[in-house]
Chain A
Amino acid sequence: MPKLSPKRNEHYSDKTDISVVIYAQNLLNKGYAKPISNQYTSKTLTTCRNDISPMRIIHGESPRHFRNQLNRITYGDVTIRFQDGISLDVDISYEDGLYIAFNDRFGVYGSGITYESAYEDFKDSFVDFYEDVMNLPEESVGESTIKLRNSLRQFTSYFKK
């Protein structure tokens, strides 16, 4: 395992995981909630503009668990970029001899016997998940997929070389 800091949340970032943003947006659309702040919008205008770090790390409660916050995912010739102030949270854990990298809300995960292989597997899975949701013909997918697609479109940009 990588060396971890003894201080919990030492590198805590106030970026918001994209799955949380989409969940909140669904609640707003259904009238179940009202916005009380524009945190990620204001962050867009201030600190995020100068934030060029592609990754932040949050240390979890267990030394075998920590979290990365990604501004973008690059795998092969594809890059998926998240709007400023929004990240993709990737939890990394080590159990049963396997490294597991996963986003808890989308459920996308990757695994491997090394940290690097788990991380690559996660990126592969996320890009595959994203391309399926975004690119399948509209008539062949369910209504929930169309909703997720519209939400992802608002908060992400897709580039292919």
Chain B
Amino acid sequence: MNEIDRKTIRKSIKKKGFILKESSNTDHEVYRLTHNGKLIPQIRVKISRGSNYKTYPQSLWCTMRALLGLDSNQEVAALLNCPLSKEEYFTILKSKNIL
């Protein structure tokens, strides 16, 4: 798993309950996690809009690990590529007292 398409990331995180933050920033989009109607703003994904970021190299998406509340790169890849379900993701976050 080296690169992940930006569109795939966007689609995957929306399914997990991340919602786009309204912002005037034109360089990137910020998605913040919601759970039971509450925002968890420290769990977030930033997606750059630049042409250099149509795909995310592993070195970049690996840095999202802590921001997503996950421990391993495999979990991050599963979340961003969609195999990890919303329920499974929330179970991980609950086990770490993030939710």
The reply on B52 being an interface residue by CB < 8 A is yes
**Which parts of A89-122 form the interface with B (CB within 8 Å)?**
93, 95-96, 98, 100, 102-109, 111, 113, 121
Residues of B with C-beta under 8 A to A107: 63-68
B30–A105 contact, CB under 8 A?
no
Contact of B66 among A96, A98, A104, A145 (CB under 8 A): A104
CB distance from B3 to the nearest CB of A (A): 9
B40–A144 contact, CB under 8 A?
yes
A100–B67 contact, CB under 8 A?
no
Residues of B with C-beta under 8 A to A125: 46
The reply on B78 being an interface residue by CB < 8 A is no
The reply on A136 being an interface residue by CB < 8 A is yes
Q: Which of chain A's residues has its CB closest to B53's CB?
A: A111
CB distance from A105 to the nearest CB of B (A): 6
CB distance from A113 to the nearest CB of B (A): 6
The reply on B10 being an interface residue by CB < 8 A is no
21 residue pairs from A and B, CB less than 8 Å apart: A96-B57, A96-B58, A98-B57, A98-B60, A103-B66, A104-B63, A107-B67, A108-B67, A132-B21, A133-B41, A136-B39, A140-B38, A141-B40, A142-B35, A142-B36, A142-B38, A142-B99, A144-B97, A144-B98, A144-B99, A145-B39
| Interface residues, chain A, with chain B CB atoms under 8 Å away | 93, 95-96, 98, 100, 102-109, 111, 113, 121, 124-125, 128-129, 132-133, 136, 140-142, 144-145, 148
Contacts beyond the supplied A105-B66, A107-B65, A129-B42: 11 A-B pairs with Cβ under 8 Å: A93-B59, A98-B57, A100-B60, A106-B66, A106-B67, A107-B66, A125-B46, A140-B38, A141-B41, A144-B42, A145-B39
